[in-house]
Chain A
Amino acid sequence: MKNYDIHQHVQGKSIFIDDMRLPAGTLHAEIFTSNIAHGIITSIDTSAALASKGVVDIFSASDIPGENQVGGMIKDESLFAESEVHYVGQPILLVVAESKLEARKALSKIKIEYDKLKPILNPREAFIKGSLIAPPVTFELGNISAVWDECDFIEEGTVESGGQEHLYLETQAAAAIPHEGEKIKVYSSTQAPTATQRVVAGILGIPMNKVEVDVLRLGGGFGGKEDQASPFAAMAALAANKLNKPVKLVLNRQDDIRITGKRHPYSSDFKIGFSHEGKILAYEVKFFQNAGAAADLSMAVLERTLFHCTNSYFIPNVKATGISCKTNVPPNTAFRGFGGPQAMFVIESAIKKISEKLDVPAYMIQQKNLLREGDEFPYGQRAENCNAKKSWNEALSKFKYEERLQSINQFNLENKFLKKGIAVMPICFGISFTSTFMNQASALVHIYTDGSIGISTAAVEMGQGVNTKIRQIAAKIFSVDISIVKIESTNTTRNANSSPTAASSGADLNGKATELACLNIKERLLNSAKEILNADLSEIKIENGSIFVNEEKKLDWEELISKSFLKRVNLSSHAYYATPKIYFDKSKSKGNAFAYHVYGTAVVETTLDCLRGTYKINSVKAVHDFGESFSKTIDLGQAEGAIIQGIGWMTMEEICHDLNGRLLSNALSTYKIPDIHFTPDEFEVHFLEGAKNPMGIFNSKAIGEPPFMYGIGAYFAILDSMKAHNKNLDYDFKAPMTPERVLLTLSKNIKTKIHK
């Protein structure tokens, strides 16, 4: 099954916010932001800007009728800075003009002065200075202090992973239209319509029932529009509300990159104890998360880091501490994997260290420590239907790992400056929001009198194909042609109090709610058919758009619907789903946090040009646990896309700030993401067989995030290439492994040799 909108997409007919035909007289907004990382505003002069051609008004914090607050989990973030600014790019004013160009021109006429303060840019510095988002969080299993003595070896190390810019191709965007009775309708490119609705209501100081948020589709989200779409919607709404005119706010690329948060960079310390056979006995890890200037979703991201600190390994004694550090960069936020990738990079680095100590290939250590059925995670849940070993074994045999290893060794013997490397990357990722209450969704299903079906859910379509899956679910339950099922925009008036479409759970939660709603109606329809056809319920079947009694066709779908309508059968249903059996006690850091886990194993191969530092990802092959996928085309696309994005994070995507906290990689010319050349020559993702998942919709598993973490394998494959060039390579665990970093590391090692 293909993307629901694909026919429109290929014709350029799909509407994104900037493509909407808004009413005549729509105004355009641009944001004036701080250009220093930390300081106190001493004066602002907007007179020249206000007098500028086309400018209608300029808004600041003092124009906010409600509360100047956009924080979700912790109320620590203002919409517009009041006196202190905390990062370069922090919004201060909103300029509204008749055209975008006029609004932009006016920005340069605003005069501002600050008393500068020293910014904190590094999370460890923040930690030392006590600049934290919230107190540290610790997950513990076993008794770590008691086992260090039993370990044959103990290794320690530091691991750094960089941020990542979402670079959804559609930038943050919103259009707000005032309605009668102080109501406002906001079209927003948001993954979280309800959160956006709440923020808009809070800013305007009106109840949520006066704010309607509507989302048709997103040109990519990746987490960047989970918490961070709301401020832009609120700005547009504020201006629209004040001026009583429609207002559109579409960020340009540079502004979007500068203003919005990214994947959290982490700096981590680990200590790992193991036996001489490579069995891991104890793992202690401390994560210093660079949260940026406000909480945003950082604490939830940090928690997921702790949940996934042991990846797909069983370690009997674990102590993992997460510290969310407040710094003077834009508030970092959700990004595919949500803290999980950062955690997995650390444990994989620790395993690399063990392998070097014991002088055995890393995959042997990985293999020895894989999770088995019933093993306990550091948060107390036990591995159920565990596919860690299964996917590992299948991957290594299917992709002939030992043979590949030999041919790589041979290649490396024959080539001096071209070196091949290989790495295996297993993953284990928990599915559910780790804040248990968020695991709920609703669906509203209508069958119209002509038989056509309309469905509204809380899920936001952003390319992941959730609307297609929901269509499939309805078509399957009613056994009708999929073409008569339409998915509506995501709208807070139709589906209230929804969770964001995030945590890979959109299809699971909303799919289950859709299933329930459809089953409700189907039951009514069967009863109606029983009466219309005067038959026994057990004899009636709805199949392929027809109604049968004992295999004999009696009615068309359309006839059944219209007859049922006349019989006053309710053809609509609103259903609600909450994931059963999950809970998590935050005070103890224990609980059954996840409905299930997704497993898989990838093998990554690279070739490195040791003179230039450039590399090619030759091959990525994975055996992935999709559960029983009912949308293979979509799921495969998600897996491939996630893998490439994960490789991008680990290799080429580098976020750079100058010493004053100004972002240097602030455009596509300086921030590089994978292009088509980056596609591995050999790219295979296989469906793990026999991986039925009773907790997922139609036994499937969530797909959005887990494959992202296969990308970590690329880092270790490149490292393997580097070590093939210099076995005693002195290096740091630092990502991204850009060609520059490769070259600097290799040349640093050459120098030491010469000096000796």
Chain B
Amino acid sequence: MSKKKGISRRNFIKGVGTGVVGSYVVVPALNNKAAKNLSDNEELQLKEGWQVLSLKVNGKKIITKVKPNTLLVDLLRNELQLTGTKVVCNQGECGGCTIILDGKPVYSCQMLALDANGKEVTTIEGLLLGEELHPLQQAFVDEDGLQCGFCTPGQIMAAYGLLLKYPDPTDEQILNGMSGNLCRCAAYPKIIKSVKAAASRIK
């Protein structure tokens, strides 16, 4: 159905966020507080034990300060405004918040931001290859692998992690790899088709 060209596995992995590798973003801490002046800010941060965090998100180097209890998902959504990653259960039960951390899919609601220090994060926003959809995204489009779309970023990131591990997954590996991601619209039959289509396209 799709006229999109195939893509090599190398590009599949390497392509992520290539457009911005090397760029550098410093997020001002406490960005939505009406702090009176910097020293107040600093005093508060000191009291609350804020720490410097440096990580790579979608190819961009990020250096910021966070409260030690900040969740990774909150850092992504609130500080970096990467709202593609969703919070659904906040309990590690649904996969809505799935991201890739150093090549592995993880639930970002179950991780402290500080635990990502020095690591590399890929979110749904980091999958685009320039202007083009990543083959996984394209496969979800071609196979209609969604309904309301709320679980979709998590599904795609879980599938991304699955295909990194098993480039040519068996049916069972697909079911196991995707079983941590709930879809209440129950688009499952088409999610399975989407993952299969992506696998064959990436091969």
Question: Residues of A with Cβ closer than 8 Å to B?
Answer: 2-3, 5-16, 18-19, 21, 24-25, 98, 166-171, 217-220, 222, 252-253, 462-465, 633-634, 637-638, 640-645, 648, 667-669, 673-679, 683
Q: Which residues of chain B come closer than 8 Å to A464, judged between CB atoms?
A: 147
A169-B94, A169-B96, A219-B149 given as contacts; is B83 within 8 A of A640 (CB)? no
Interchain CB contact (< 8 A) of B91 among A10, A14, A668: A668
Q: Which residues of chain B come closer than 8 Å to A462, judged between CB atoms?
A: 148
Q: What are 17 pairs between A and B in contact, CB < 8 Å? A: A11-B127, A11-B128, A12-B123, A13-B84, A168-B148, A168-B184, A169-B86, A169-B88, A169-B151, A219-B149, A253-B91, A463-B147, A667-B93, A668-B89, A668-B94, A669-B91, A673-B182
Interchain CB contact (< 8 A) of A683 among B141, B184, B189: B189
Query: Is B85 touching A7 in the complex (CB atoms < 8 A)?
Result: no
Nearest neighbor of A219 in chain B, beta-carbon distance: B150
Interchain CB contact (< 8 A) of B32 among A19, A24, A217, A676: A24
Q: Measured between alpha carbons, how far is A96 from B35 in the docked complex, in Å?
A: 19
Q: Which residues of chain A come closer than 8 Å to B133, judged between CB atoms?
A: 7, 10-11
Which residues of B in the span 52-101 have a Cβ within 8 Å of any Cβ on A? Answer: 77, 81-91, 93-94, 96
Chain B interface, number of residues (Cβ within 8 angstroms): 53
Q: Which residues of chain A come closer than 8 Å to B141, judged between CB atoms?
A: 2, 6-7, 10
Q: Which residues of chain B come closer than 8 Å to A3, judged between CB atoms?
A: 144, 146-147, 149
Q: Which residues of chain B come closer than 8 Å to A11, judged between CB atoms?
A: 84, 124-125, 127-128, 133, 137
Query: Is A10 touching B152 in the complex (CB atoms < 8 A)?
Result: yes
Query: Is B188 touching A170 in the complex (CB atoms < 8 A)?
Result: no
Q: Measured between alpha carbons, how far is A36 from B91 in the docked complex, in Å?
A: 25
Q: Measured between alpha carbons, how far is A634 from B144 in the docked complex, in Å?
A: 8
Query: Is A19 touching B83 in the complex (CB atoms < 8 A)?
Result: yes
Q: Measured between alpha carbons, how far is A253 from B94 in the docked complex, in Å?
A: 11
Main secondary structure of the interface of B (DSSP, over half): loop
Q: Which residues of chain A come closer than 8 Å to B146, judged between CB atoms?
A: 3, 6, 9-10, 463
Query: Is B81 touching A21 in the complex (CB atoms < 8 A)?
Result: yes
Which residues of B in the span 149-168 have a Cβ within 8 Å of any Cβ on A? Answer: 149-153, 156
Identify the 4 closest CB pairs spanning chains A and B, nearest first. A12-B84, A463-B148, A219-B150, A9-B149
Question: Residues of B with Cβ closer than 8 Å to A?
Answer: 32-34, 77, 81-91, 93-94, 96, 123-125, 127-128, 133, 137-138, 140-141, 144, 146-153, 156, 175, 178-179, 181-192
Query: Is A640 touching B91 in the complex (CB atoms < 8 A)?
Result: no
Query: Is A676 touching B148 in the complex (CB atoms < 8 A)?
Result: no
A253-B89, A669-B93, A673-B182 given as contacts; is B147 within 8 A of A637 (CB)? yes
* A20 CB, min distance to chain B CBs, angstroms: 9
Q: Measured between alpha carbons, how far is A18 from B74 in the docked complex, in Å?
A: 12
* B194 CB, min distance to chain A CBs, angstroms: 9
Q: Measured between alpha carbons, how far is A9 from B146 in the docked complex, in Å?
A: 8
Query: Is A637 touching B190 in the complex (CB atoms < 8 A)?
Result: yes
Interchain CB contact (< 8 A) of B90 among A170, A252, A679: A252
* A26 CB, min distance to chain B CBs, angstroms: 9
Interchain CB contact (< 8 A) of A219 among B34, B85, B128, B148: B148
Query: Is B150 touching A169 in the complex (CB atoms < 8 A)?
Result: yes
Nearest neighbor of A167 in chain B, beta-carbon distance: B184
Query: Is A633 touching B94 in the complex (CB atoms < 8 A)?
Result: no
Interchain CB contact (< 8 A) of A640 among B150, B181, B190: B190
Interchain CB contact (< 8 A) of A679 among B94, B152, B189: B189
Query: Is A644 touching B147 in the complex (CB atoms < 8 A)?
Result: no
Query: Is B152 touching A9 in the complex (CB atoms < 8 A)?
Result: yes
Q: Measured between alpha carbons, how far is A220 from B148 in the docked complex, in Å?
A: 6
Q: Measured between alpha carbons, how far is A9 from B93 in the docked complex, in Å?
A: 21
Interchain CB contact (< 8 A) of B178 among A98, A669, A676: A676
Further pairs besides A11-B125, A12-B125: 17, Cβ < 8 Å: A9-B140, A10-B137, A10-B141, A21-B81, A98-B33, A168-B148, A169-B88, A169-B182, A219-B86, A220-B184, A462-B148, A463-B147, A463-B185, A667-B91, A668-B182, A669-B93, A676-B188
Nearest neighbor of B151 in chain A, beta-carbon distance: A169
A10-B140, A11-B137, A667-B89 given as contacts; is B175 within 8 A of A220 (CB)? no
Q: Measured between alpha carbons, how far is A376 from B179 in the docked complex, in Å?
A: 46
Q: Measured between alpha carbons, how far is A89 from B31 in the docked complex, in Å?
A: 34
Interchain CB contact (< 8 A) of A637 among B90, B137, B140, B187: B187
Nearest neighbor of B147 in chain A, beta-carbon distance: A463
Query: Is A18 touching B137 in the complex (CB atoms < 8 A)?
Result: no
Query: Is B88 touching A12 in the complex (CB atoms < 8 A)?
Result: no
Nearest neighbor of A24 in chain B, beta-carbon distance: B32
Nearest neighbor of A463 in chain B, beta-carbon distance: B148
A12-B85, A24-B32 given as contacts; is B184 within 8 A of A465 (CB)? no
Nearest neighbor of B83 in chain A, beta-carbon distance: A19
Query: Is A16 touching B150 in the complex (CB atoms < 8 A)?
Result: yes
Interchain CB contact (< 8 A) of A18 among B87, B91, B127: B87
Query: Is B149 touching A25 in the complex (CB atoms < 8 A)?
Result: no
Q: Which of A169, A463, A634, A641 has the most CB of B within 10 A?
A: A169
Q: Measured between alpha carbons, how far is A674 from B128 in the docked complex, in Å?
A: 30
Query: Is B81 touching A10 in the complex (CB atoms < 8 A)?
Result: no
* A484 CB, min distance to chain B CBs, angstroms: 20
Q: Measured between alpha carbons, how far is A6 from B82 in the docked complex, in Å?
A: 18
Q: Which residues of chain A come closer than 8 Å to B138, judged between CB atoms?
A: 10
Nearest neighbor of B181 in chain A, beta-carbon distance: A676
Interchain CB contact (< 8 A) of B150 among A166, A220, A642, A645: A220
Q: Measured between alpha carbons, how far is A443 from B183 in the docked complex, in Å?
A: 31
Q: Measured between alpha carbons, how far is A21 from B93 in the docked complex, in Å?
A: 27
Q: Which of B90, B94, B184, B187 has the most CB of A within 10 A?
A: B184
Query: Is B125 touching A641 in the complex (CB atoms < 8 A)?
Result: no
Query: Is B148 touching A678 in the complex (CB atoms < 8 A)?
Result: no
